[in-house]
Amino acid sequence: MKINVGDILHGFTVLRSRFSGELEGTLWEMRHERTGARLCWLDNGENNKLFCAAFKTIPWDDTGVFHILEHSVLGGSERYPVKEPFLDLLKGSMNTFLNAMTFPDKTIYPVSSRNDRDFLNLTQVYLDAVFCPAIHTNPNIFRQEGWHYELKEGETVPTYNGVVFNEMKGALAGVDEQMVTQLQKLVFPDSCYGWVSGGDPAHIPELTEARFLEAHRTFYHPGNCRIWLDGAVPLDEVLKMMDEEYLCRFGAPKAAPEIALQAPVAAASVTVPYEIGAEEDEANKAYLTLGKIVGDWRDVKRITAMSMLCTWLTESVEAPLTKAVLQSGLAQDVTLNVEAEIAQPCVTVTFRNTEEKHREALRALLRSTVEGLLAEGLDREALAAQLDMAEFRMKDRQEPAGLIRCITALGSWLHDGDPMLWLLNAPVIRALRDALDTDFYADCLRDMLLDDAHLCEVCMIPSKTRGEELRREERARLEAASADWTDADRARVKAEFEALEAWHNTPDTPEQTATLPQLALSDVSPEPFWTETETGEAGGVPTLFHPVPSNGILHSALYFSAADQSVEDMQAQVFMLSLLGELPTEKHSVRELSRLIKQKLGRVSFSGSTFDAGDRTACKPVLRAAFSCLEECAEDGADLVAEILTQTRFDDRKTIRDLLNQRCEQLTQAVTYNGSSFASTRALKDFSAAGRLNEAIAGITGLRWMIALRDAFDERIDAFIALAERTRDTFFTRSRMTVSLTATRPSAFTDSLIRRFPEGGARAADTLALPVTDQCAKEAIVIPAGIAFAAMGTHAGLLGSAWAPDLSVLGGVLTFGYLWNEVRVKGGAYGCGFRPARGGSITFHSYRDPAPVRSERTFAETGDWLRAFVAGDEGLDRYIISAIAAAEPLQSPNAQGLDDTWTVENLT
Ligand SMILES: [Zn+2]
* pLDDT at 809 (0 to 100): 94
What is the Å distance from ligand 1's center to 53 Cα? Answer: 17
What is the Å distance from ligand 1's center to 830 Cα? Answer: 8
What is the Å distance from ligand 1's center to 404 Cα? Answer: 19
What is the Å distance from ligand 1's center to 603 Cα? Answer: 32
What is the Å distance from ligand 1's center to 662 Cα? Answer: 29
What is the Å distance from ligand 1's center to 890 Cα? Answer: 23
* pLDDT at 450 (0 to 100): 95
What is the Å distance from ligand 1's center to 167 Cα? Answer: 6
What is the Å distance from ligand 1's center to 716 Cα? Answer: 44
Residue 702 to residue 686: CA distance in whole angstroms: 15
What is the Å distance from ligand 1's center to 213 Cα? Answer: 18
What is the Å distance from ligand 1's center to 265 Cα? Answer: 31
3-state secondary structure of 627: strand
Distance of CA 441 to the CA centre of its chain: 31
> What is the length of the chain?
908
β-bridge partners, 834: 844
Amino acid at 877: D
| Residue 842 · residue 822 · CB < 8 Å | no
Which H or E run includes 461? strand 456-463
Query: Mean pLDDT of residues grouped by 10 in the chain (908 residues)?
Result: 93 98 97 96 97 98 98 96 90 93 97 96 97 98 96 90 93 92 97 97 98 97 97 98 97 85 96 92 96 97 98 96 97 96 97 97 98 97 96 94 98 97 97 97 97 96 94 96 94 95 92 92 89 92 94 96 96 97 97 96 94 89 96 96 98 97 94 93 95 96 97 98 98 96 93 94 91 90 90 91 85 94 92 91 94 96 96 92 91 83 32
Cβ neighbours for 19, distance < 8 A, ≥ 6 positions apart: 25, 26
What is the Å distance from ligand 1's center to 274 Cα? Answer: 23
What is the Å distance from ligand 1's center to 62 Cα? Answer: 14
Amino acid at 762: A
Residue 321 to residue 159: CA distance in whole angstroms: 47
What is the Å distance from ligand 1's center to 111 Cα? Answer: 16
What is the Å distance from ligand 1's center to 820 Cα? Answer: 15
What is the Å distance from ligand 1's center to 270 Cα? Answer: 29
Closest CA relative to residue 143, chosen from 473, 474, 475, 492: 492
What is the Å distance from ligand 1's center to 67 Cα? Answer: 6
What is the Å distance from ligand 1's center to 68 Cα? Answer: 7
Residue 204 to residue 201: CA distance in whole angstroms: 5
What is the Å distance from ligand 1's center to 108 Cα? Answer: 12
* pLDDT at 908 (0 to 100): 28
CB atoms within 10 A of CB 89: 24
| Residue 602 · residue 609 · CB < 8 Å | no
Largest CA distance in the chain: 84
| Residue 832 · residue 810 · CB < 8 Å | no
What is the Å distance from ligand 1's center to 877 Cα? Answer: 29
What is the Å distance from ligand 1's center to 168 Cα? Answer: 8
CA atoms within 13 A on the CB side of 617: 2
What is the Å distance from ligand 1's center to 429 Cα? Answer: 35
Closest CA relative to residue 841, chosen from 776, 793, 902, 808: 793
What is the Å distance from ligand 1's center to 164 Cα? Answer: 6
What is the Å distance from ligand 1's center to 57 Cα? Answer: 15
Distance of CA 584 to the CA centre of its chain: 31
| Residue 1 · residue 236 · CB < 8 Å | yes
Residue 416 to residue 425: CA distance in whole angstroms: 20
**What's the whole-model pTM score?**
0.94
What is the Å distance from ligand 1's center to 881 Cα? Answer: 26
| Residue 209 · residue 139 · CB < 8 Å | yes
What is the Å distance from ligand 1's center to 815 Cα? Answer: 18
DSSP 799-849: GT----HHHHHHHHIIIIIIIIIIIIIIT--SEEEEEE-TTSEEEEEEEEE
What is the Å distance from ligand 1's center to 778 Cα? Answer: 30
What is the Å distance from ligand 1's center to 675 Cα? Answer: 17
The three-point CA angle 382-385-390 to 5° equals 130
What is the Å distance from ligand 1's center to 64 Cα? Answer: 10
* pLDDT at 801 (0 to 100): 78
What is the Å distance from ligand 1's center to 335 Cα? Answer: 27
What is the Å distance from ligand 1's center to 129 Cα? Answer: 16
CB atoms within 10 A of CB 232: 16
| Residue 45 · residue 232 · CB < 8 Å | yes
What is the Å distance from ligand 1's center to 105 Cα? Answer: 15
What is the Å distance from ligand 1's center to 77 Cα? Answer: 19
What is the Å distance from ligand 1's center to 171 Cα? Answer: 10
Q: DSSP code of 304?
A: H
What is the Å distance from ligand 1's center to 752 Cα? Answer: 49
What is the Å distance from ligand 1's center to 71 Cα? Answer: 6
What is the Å distance from ligand 1's center to 66 Cα? Answer: 10
